[in-house]
Structure 1
Amino acid sequence: MSFWSNPFARSTATPLLAAVSAEREARTTGATIDTQESNARLIALLGMGSQTSSAGVVVNERTALSFAAVWACVLAISQDIAALPCQLYRDIPSGGKEKVYGHPASRLLNLQASPLQNAMPHRMAMMATVLLHGNAYALIDEGPRYRPDALLYKHPRQTEVRESNGRLYYRFWGDPRTYQDYQVIHLRGLVLDENGIMGLSVLAAHRENLGTGLAAQRAGAQFYANGARLSGVLETPNTFKDGTASARIRADWQAIYGGTENAGKVAVLENGLTFKSVSMPPADAQFLETRKFTRQEVCSIFRVPLHKIQDLERSTNNNIEQQGLDYTTNTLQPWLVNIEQEYRLKLLRDSEVETHYWRHNLNALLRADASARATFYGKMTDIGVMSINEVRELEDMNGIGAEGDRRFVQVNRMPLDKVDEVISKNSKPATGTPPDEQA
Structure 2
Amino acid sequence: MRNPLTRLWRGPLRAPAEPAPAEQKSSRTARLIRLEPGGTARWTPRDYAALAREGFVRNAVVHRAVKLVAENVAALTFLAYEGDALHERHPLTDLLARPNPRQDGAALLEALTAHLMISGNGYLELVSLDGTPREIFALRPDRMRVVPGPDGWAQAYDYTVAGRTVRFAQAGAPPPILHLVLFNPLDDHYGLGALEAAAVAVDTHNAAARWNKALLDNAARPSGALVYAAPDGAILADDQYERLKRELEASYQGAANAGRPLLLEGGLDWKAMSLTPKDMDFLEAKNSAAREIALAFGVPPMLLGIPGDNTYANYQEANRAFWRHTVLPLGARIGSALAQWLAPAFGAADGRSLRLDIDTDRVDALAGDRAALWERVTAAPFLTVNEKRAMVGFGPIAGGDGV
Q: TM-score, normalized by length of structure 1?
A: 0.69
- Per-residue Cα deviation, 1:351-410 (whole angstroms, up to 9, x for no partner): 32842111222334354578x8666545545555767xx99x9xxxxxxxxxxx89999x
Of 145, 168, 171 in structure 2, the residue corresponding to residue 178 of structure 1 is 168
- Relative to structure 1, the CA distance from residue 118 to residue 251 in structure 2 (aligned partners, 3 Å threshold; closer, same or farther) is farther
| Match in the other structure for 2:42 | 13
1:164 maps to 2:164 = no
Q: TM-score, normalized by length of structure 2?
A: 0.74
In the TM superposition, 1:4-403 aligns within 5 A as 8-9=37-38, 13-14=42-43, 47=49, 60-65=51-56, 66-91=58-83, 96-103=84-91, 105-110=92-97, 112-144=98-130, 146-166=131-151, 167-168=153-154, 169-173=156-160, 174-180=164-170, 182-194=175-187, 196-238=188-230, 239-349=234-344, 351-352=347-348, 354-365=352-363, 367=365, 377-381=374-378, 383=380, 384=385
| Match in the other structure for 1:41 | none
Q: Is the 8 A contact 1:134 1:200 kept in 2?
A: yes
- Relative to structure 1, the CA distance from residue 379 to residue 229 in structure 2 (aligned partners, 3 Å threshold; closer, same or farther) is same
Task: Give how far 1:122 is off.
Answer: 1.9
Unaligned runs of 5+ in 1: 1-5, 17-43, 48-58, 394-404, 416-439
- Relative to structure 1, the CA distance from residue 332 to residue 45 in structure 2 (aligned partners, 3 Å threshold; closer, same or farther) is closer
- Per-residue Cα deviation, 1:30-63 (whole angstroms, up to 9, x for no partner): xxxxxxxxxxxxxx9675xxxxxxxxxxx52111
Q: Provide the C-alpha distance between the structure 1 equivalents of 2:195 and 2:379, rounded to a whole number of angstroms.
A: 51
- Relative to structure 1, the CA distance from residue 373 to residue 138 in structure 2 (aligned partners, 3 Å threshold; closer, same or farther) is closer
Task: Give how far 1:272 is off.
Answer: 4.3
- Relative to structure 1, the CA distance from residue 11 to residue 359 in structure 2 (aligned partners, 3 Å threshold; closer, same or farther) is farther
Cα RMSD between the aligned structures? Answer: 3.4
Q: Provide the C-alpha distance between the structure 1 equivalents of 2:203 and 2:228, rounded to a whole number of angstroms.
A: 39
- Relative to structure 1, the CA distance from residue 242 to residue 113 in structure 2 (aligned partners, 3 Å threshold; closer, same or farther) is farther
Task: Give how far 1:77 is off.
Answer: 0.6
Tell me which of the two structures has the higher relative contact order, counting C-alpha pairs closer than 8 angstroms and 6 or more residues apart. Answer: 2
Letter aligned with residue 336 of structure 2:
Q
Q: Is the 8 A contact 1:325 1:366 kept in 2?
A: no
Q: Is the 8 A contact 1:90 1:100 kept in 2?
A: no
Letter aligned with residue 13 of structure 1:
R
Q: Provide the C-alpha distance between the structure 2 equivalents of 1:251 and 1:76, rounded to a whole number of angstroms.
A: 47
Letter aligned with residue 360 of structure 2:
L
| Match in the other structure for 2:32 | none
Runs of 4+ in 1 over 6 A off after TM superposition: 405-409
- Relative to structure 1, the CA distance from residue 292 to residue 231 in structure 2 (aligned partners, 3 Å threshold; closer, same or farther) is same
- Per-residue Cα deviation, 1:313-359 (whole angstroms, up to 9, x for no partner): 22323332222222112112331232122101212226328421112
Please state whether the residue corresponding to 2:99 is helix, strand or coil: strand
Aligned length: 345
Task: Give how far 1:106 is off.
Answer: 1.9
Unaligned runs of 5+ in 2: 1-34
Q: Provide the C-alpha distance between the structure 1 equivalents of 2:112 and 2:273, rounded to a whole number of angstroms.
A: 49
Q: Is the 8 A contact 1:321 1:368 kept in 2?
A: no
